[in-house]
Chains A and B, each alone.
Chain A
Amino acid sequence: MSDGPEHPHVHRNPPRPDQDDTLTYYRALEAAVRELLVEKGIVSAEDVRRQVEEMDGRNAGRGASMVARAWLDPAYKERMLVDGAKAAEEIGLDVGPLKLVVVENTATVHNVIVCTLCSCYPRNLLGLPPDWYKSRMYRSRVVREPRAVLAEFGTVIPDDVKIRVHDSTADMRYLVAPRRPEGTEDWSESELARLVTRDSMIGVAPADKA
């Protein structure tokens, strides 16, 4: 690209470099294994595409439907707190081999989720994790100064509320059940589910206001 007379205008936002222009070791490994699997007829290219589409298509609405059900049905909530994966299956959500722990925010306890080792996240119920969840900054700081990190998200936790940070280091995945907003007493399950945002189920925000 030339800045000479043939190219007189100014690029205020230079193009970002492509992220797929280097064949790193692991990219080469992925391509080699995938091509071998396709060549041997173990999976098809269509299977791979469909699976990626399905993973990308999951969103936090799945987790939200569990929380809304729990707000309306105390017996369901109890079952959900005992075995989150079973409670997901109960309302028709396929979570595969996921081991899910649901933790409940109350007037006296606020929960927040992190994976300090990598970026474990209940993708089956929340979709793909936000970039900040995978950042070293969030992962290293939220275990050490959770109140300061939450305040940066606009979530100020009163001094008399206990903070429980959950570091998902091994085989469990975590979902926060946020508190039900006031003024929603006669709301339907689908109306309630709309208040249950992704961030509220990670624990960095309350559910949306009614």
Chain B
Amino acid sequence: MADALPPRFRPGDRVRVREAYPIGHVRTPYYVRGKQGVIERLCGAFPNPEERAYARPGEPLQPLYRVRFLQHDVWSDYGGQSVDVVEVEIYQHWLETAQ
């Protein structure tokens, strides 16, 4: 088993998705970049797909989280209910502690 980076976040932590726009194969959807959410769970550690896409090993493995966002925080004109959420899988290197 390849080495994995230690998880930096725990369920319940408030995080912000980095607002970055690198070229290449990226799994972080545009619509959550720069947005704040809460760690829902740690899914495990997986090879970094941004490396794997170019036939590199993607190691050490990156912790992967499910991050829960309030829809109103993602879409300023969201038309549903204030409790509605969207949950997205995001690798650790895209997350920082929310201020």
- Residue positions of A touching B, CB distance < 8 A: 99, 101, 116-117, 143-148, 159-160, 162-172
Question: Which chain B residue lies CB-closest to A111?
Answer: B87
Query: Known contacts A116-B29, A169-B89: does B79 contact A147 (CB below 8 Å)?
Result: yes
A163:B81 contact, CB within 8 angstroms: yes
Question: Which chain A residue lies CB-closest to B89?
Answer: A170
Residue among A144, A145, A168 with most chain B CB within 10 A: A144
B86:A167 contact, CB within 8 angstroms: yes
A171:B87 contact, CB within 8 angstroms: no
- 30 A-B pairs within 8 Å (CB atoms) are namely A99-B43, A101-B43, A101-B66, A116-B29, A116-B31, A117-B27, A144-B31, A145-B79, A146-B84, A147-B80, A147-B81, A148-B79, A160-B81, A162-B84, A163-B71, A163-B80, A164-B85, A167-B87, A169-B27, A169-B28, A169-B89, A170-B27, A170-B46, A170-B49, A170-B64, A170-B91, A171-B44, A171-B46, A172-B64, A172-B89
Residue among B49, B78, B81 with most chain A CB within 10 A: B81
Query: For residue A165, which residues in chain B have a CB less than 8 angstroms away from its CB?
Result: 71, 84-87
Q: Closest CB of chain A to B92's CB: distance in Å?
A: 11
Question: Which chain B residue lies CB-closest to A145?
Answer: B79
Cβ of B55 under 8 Å from chain A: no
**CA of A148 to CA of B84 in the docked complex: distance in angstroms?**
13
B43:A145 contact, CB within 8 angstroms: no
Question: Which chain B residue lies CB-closest to A167?
Answer: B88
Query: For residue A170, which residues in chain B have a CB less than 8 angstroms away from its CB?
Result: 27, 43, 46, 49, 64, 89-91
**CA of A163 to CA of B46 in the docked complex: distance in angstroms?**
28
Residue among B29, B49, B84, B91 with most chain A CB within 10 A: B84
Cβ of B1 under 8 Å from chain A: no
**CA of A170 to CA of B89 in the docked complex: distance in angstroms?**
6
Which of A143, A147, A167 touches B89 (beta carbons < 8 Å)? A167
**CA of A13 to CA of B71 in the docked complex: distance in angstroms?**
44
